[in-house]
Amino acid sequence: MPDTEERTRLPDRQPTTRVLATPQDTNTAGDIFGGWIMSHVDIAGSIAAIRRAKGRVVTVAVNAFQFHHPVYVGDLVSFYAEVVRVGRTSLTVFVEVYAERQRREETCIKVTEATLTFVAIDDERRPRPVSEDGGQKAEDRV
C-alpha cells in the first residue's frame, strides 16, 4: 500500500453505487473493514453485469483485487463498474473505488480497484448465453 495518498477527481460519470462508511463497518484498527469494501465491489460489479447480460448473474471469480489506501469512517465511497469483456456466458467487470474524505478539506482518493468475472444464468441457475448485440455500449458503463 503506498504511503501517500494521491488526490484525484471522481470519474466523469455516475457511480454505480455510493455509500457512507460508518463506525459499524470498522475493523479492530478502526479502519473500514476490507470485507465491507469487497462486498460493495461485488454488488457494483453485479449491477453492471446484470445490465449487460439482461438478467441474473452470479460471481464466479475475483480475478484481481488491490487495496491502495484505507477507507475511514465518514468517507463517502463511490464504486464505478464497467463491463470490459463479454464471453459466451461470462462477463468481466472492472470496478474502481474512490473515497471522498470528509476532513478539513475535501479530497478524493482512489482506494481500491478490482476485476471480477460473472456468469449469466437462467431460471434453473444454469449458465446461459449473453445476448449477441455486440460489445460494450454506453449503458454498460455504470
115-127 per-position pLDDT tens digit: 999 999 999 999 9
Distance, C-alpha 59 to centroid of its chain: 12
What's at 70, amino acid-wise?
P
* 118, 93 Cβ separation under 8 angstroms: yes
For residue range 79-99, list pLDDT tens digits in order: 999 999 999 999 999 999 999
Domain ranges of the chain: 17-131
**pTM (2 d.p.):** 0.86
- What does the mean pLDDT of the chain come to? 88
Return the SS3 of 75.
coil
For residue range 20-53, list pLDDT tens digits in order: 999 999 998 888 999 999 999 999 999 999 999 9
Residues 131, 128: Cα–Cα separation, whole Å? 9
The CATH code belonging to domain 17-131 is 3.10.129.10
Report angle CA 128, 133, 134 to the nearest 5 degrees: 110
Burial class (CB in 10 A: 0-12, 13-18, 19+), 35: exposed
